[in-house]
Amino acid sequence: MKDLLRTLMKAAIWAIVLVIIGMAVFYFSQGYFVYSGRALYRGEDPEWQARIAVVAARGFRTSQMESSDPGVTVHGLWGPAQGVVPAILWFHDRRENITEIGHELQPLIDLGCHVYAMEYRGYGMSPGVPTEEALLKDAETVFDHLWARDDVRPRKVFVGGYSMGAALALRLANKKDVAGVIAIAPIGNLSTAMKKHLKYIPTDLLLRDQYDAKTAAKGARGPVFIAHGTIDDEVPLGTAKALAAFAPISVLYEVEGAGHNDIYSVGGKKLWEEIDTFIVRISR
C-alpha cells in the first residue's frame, strides 16, 4: 500500500511539473501561438511575391509609412477608388496575412471606398514583433494618414476587420473618431477565442494580449456593424449579441448557417449589401 501511495505521489508531482513546464513554454512562446500567421511565407519568399502580384493585378499596391514608434515602418496594401470618397482601414485575422484576404478586399473596394489593409509587425514584409499595443499604434498611424488625405471624404474613415482584426478595429474606435466600425465574426476577447484550441492552458492568466472587444465596444466613438454566423462554433453568436448590446449604436446582422471560417461564402452578396447599406447611411 505504501509503495502504491508513493508511486501515485510521484506521478502527481511529475504531472504538476509537466503542467508548470507547459505553462512556462506557452507563456514565453505565446507570440507564435497568438500570431500564427507570421509563420506563413515572408516577404522574400517566392510564394509571397506571387501572391502580391495577384493582389496588384486587382488594383492594390503595396504601401508603407512611418509609425508613431520611431524607426518602425508600417506596411500595407492600398486600393484607391475614384473621387473623394470614404476610406476603410481593414485588419485581417491573426492566422493570415494581407495577401490572403482578397475575398474581403475586393468587395470592399467594389463598394466605392478607398481601402487600406494594414499588415501586422512580423508578418510578410513587416519587420518587428507583433503585440496588441504595437499594432494599435500602427493602426493609429494609418488612420491619421487616411484622415488627412485630400481624396478621403472629411471625417469618413471607417475601420473594420475579421475575427481578431475586428477586435483591433474596435480598440482603435476607442481612440479615434471613426465614421463607423465593420466587425466580421468578432472575438469577444483573445483568451476565450483560443480556449477551443488550447483547452488545458489557462489563457486568461497567461496571455499578455487580450483584444478585449467587449470592453472596446462600450467606448466605440462611432456606430458598429457586426456580422456573425449563427452556427459559429469558435466564437458563439452570443458573443456578437453581447458586443451589439455594449456598443452605443449598433447593427447586428446574423448570417444564417454560417460558421466562423465560411461567413463570407455563406453570407455572399447579401452580406456585402448589408455592409454597403451601413456605410451609405452613415456617409450621407
127-152: average pLDDT: 96
What is d(CA 249, CA 150) in angstroms, rounded to the nearest whole number? Answer: 28
Instruction: Check residue 100 and give its pLDDT.
Output: 87
In sequence order, the β-bridge partners of residue 115 are: 79, 88
> Which of the residue ranges 8-12, 123-127, 254-258 would you say has the lowest mean pLDDT?
8-12
Instruction: Check residue 221 and give its pLDDT.
Output: 94
Calculate ∠ Cα 189-107-216, nearest 5°. Answer: 20
21 falls within a domain = no
The number of folded domains in the chain is 1
Instruction: Check residue 225 and give its pLDDT.
Output: 98
> Which of the residue ranges 127-136, 181-190, 201-210, 220-229 would you say has the lowest mean pLDDT?
201-210
What is d(CA 119, CA 123) in angstroms, rounded to the nearest whole number? Answer: 7
Residue 157's SS3 state is strand
The CATH number assigned to the domain holding 212 equals: 3.40.50.1820
Whole-number percent of the chain with pLDDT over 90: 62
Residue 8 or residue 18, greater confidence: 8
Residue labelled with grid coordinates 507583433: 130
184-206: average pLDDT: 77
How many CA within 13 A on the CB side of residue 18?
7
Residue 190 or residue 255, greater confidence: 255
Residue 7 has pLDDT above 70, yes or no: no
177 falls within a domain = yes
Which stretch of DSSP H or E encloses residue 41?
none
Residue 15 has pLDDT above 70, yes or no: no
171-179: average pLDDT: 97
Rounded to the nearest 5 percent, the helix, strand and coil shares of the chain are: 45, 20, 35
Residue 205 has pLDDT above 60, yes or no: yes
What is d(CA 60, CA 52) in angstroms, rounded to the nearest whole number? Answer: 9
Is residue 231 within 8 Å of 258, Cβ to Cβ?
A: yes
> Which of the residue ranges 9-23, 24-38, 54-68, 96-110 would you say has the lowest mean pLDDT?
9-23
99 falls within a domain = yes
Confidence of residue 6 (pLDDT cuts 50, 70, 90): low
Residue 27 has pLDDT above 60, yes or no: no
259 falls within a domain = yes
What is d(CA 222, CA 49) in angstroms, rounded to the nearest whole number? Answer: 37
Domain that holds residue 112: 35-283
Instruction: Check residue 150 and give its pLDDT.
Output: 97
196-224: average pLDDT: 82
**Rg of the chain, C-alpha, whole Å:** 21
Residue 23 has pLDDT above 60, yes or no: no
279 falls within a domain = yes
Whole-number percent of the chain with pLDDT over 70: 86
Tens digit of each residue's pLDDT (9 = 90 or more) over 76-135:
999 999 999 999 999 999 999 998 888 898 999 999 999 999 999 999 888 889 999 999
Instruction: Check residue 261 and give its pLDDT.
Output: 95
Instruction: Check residue 123 and give its pLDDT.
Output: 92
Confidence of residue 172 (pLDDT cuts 50, 70, 90): very high
26 falls within a domain = no
209 falls within a domain = yes
Task: Tell me what the pLDDT averaged over the chain comes to.
Answer: 88
Nearest partner of 47 among 98, 99, 92, judged by Cα = 99
Is residue 58 within 8 Å of 45, Cβ to Cβ?
A: no
137 falls within a domain = yes
Q: How many CB atoms lie within 10 A of CB 201?
A: 21
Instruction: Check residue 178 and give its pLDDT.
Output: 98
Q: Provide the H-helix boundaries in 63-222.
A: 102-110, 132-148, 164-172, 190-194, 203-206, 213-218
